[in-house]
């Protein structure tokens, strides 16, 4: 799966609730886990794979695969803590972000069964980070505005470079195709 990067529209959208958990959606969860593991991440939210719907997957330090569909954080602790966050949608950057140390979340699992989870530590952190993605919020929005501006600018430049490379590739492919077609045309004569 392609992981969408900061600067792409879908990461800033407010996601829609999931209407039905189908086999095809369960397949998507599996692919998200594979994509996330390959990218060395601990959480991945639907907009990061280009889907503006409310679900995310997590593998925290207990190695349990957790799926959250239509999650709602129903309470947060007054106690706050700092933790260095990163995001697969802006690789290569990290920043300390202050958030509640504990959260209680309600969601549906991959089978559509409702559950309530009280989380602390890394799991609480990942849940908050991923839940933010569903509202078009990324972690840098919650940190130093100067850092956010720097990351946004550098990600924009990266996207521009990638687009240029793609255009160059397409031009080359078109040119090769044209040459081959000309050759074929000669043969026919
Ligand atoms: Ni993220």
| Average pLDDT by stretches of 10, the chain with 189 residues | 96 97 98 97 98 98 96 98 97 97 98 98 98 98 97 95 93 93 84
CA-only gyration radius of the chain, Å: 21
Domain boundaries, the chain: 9-143, 145-189
Q: What is the predicted pLDDT for the residue at 65?
A: 97
Task: Give catalytic residue positions.
Answer: 130
Q: How far is the CA of 131 from the centre of ligand 1 (A)?
A: 9
Q: What is the predicted pLDDT for the residue at 187?
A: 83
CATH superfamily of 9-143: Peptide deformylase (3.90.45.10)
Neighbour tally for 65: CB within 10 Å: 14
For residue 121, give both structure tokens: 């530590």
Query: Contact at 8 Å (CB) between 101 and 124?
Result: yes
H/E element, 136: none
| Residue 95 CB partners (closer than 8 Å, separation 6+) | 84, 85, 139, 140, 143, 144, 147
pTM for this model (two decimals): 0.90
Q: How far is the CA of 113 from the centre of ligand 1 (A)?
A: 25
Q: What is the predicted pLDDT for the residue at 58?
A: 98
Q: How far is the CA of 42 from the centre of ligand 1 (A)?
A: 9
Q: What is the predicted pLDDT for the residue at 186?
A: 86
Q: How far is the CA of 85 from the centre of ligand 1 (A)?
A: 8
Indicate the SS3 state at residue 69: strand
């Amino acid at each position: 799966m392609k992981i969408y990067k900061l600067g792409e529209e879908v990461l800033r959208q407010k996601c829609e609730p999931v209407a039905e958990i189908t086999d095809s959606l369960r397949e998507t969860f599996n692919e998200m886990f594979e994509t996330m593991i390959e990218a060395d991440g601990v959480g991945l939210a639907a907009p990061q794979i280009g889907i503006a719907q409310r679900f995310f997957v997590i593998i925290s330090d207990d190695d349990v695969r957790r799926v959250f569909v239509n999650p709602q954080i129903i309470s947060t602790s007054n106690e706050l803590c700092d933790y260095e966050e990163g995001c697969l949608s802006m690789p290569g950057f990290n920043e300390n972000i202050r958030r509640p140390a504990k959260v209680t979340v309600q969601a549906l699992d991959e089978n559509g069964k409702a559950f309530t989870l009280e989380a602390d530590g890394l799991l609480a952190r990942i849940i908050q980070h991923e839940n933010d993605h569903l509202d078009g919020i990324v972690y840098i929005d919650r940190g130093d505005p100067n850092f956010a501006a720097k990351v946004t600018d550098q990600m924009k430049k990266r996207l521009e470079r990638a687009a240029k490379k793609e255009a160059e590739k397409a031009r080359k492919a078109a040119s090769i195709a044209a040459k081959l077609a000309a050759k074929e045309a000669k043969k026919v004569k």
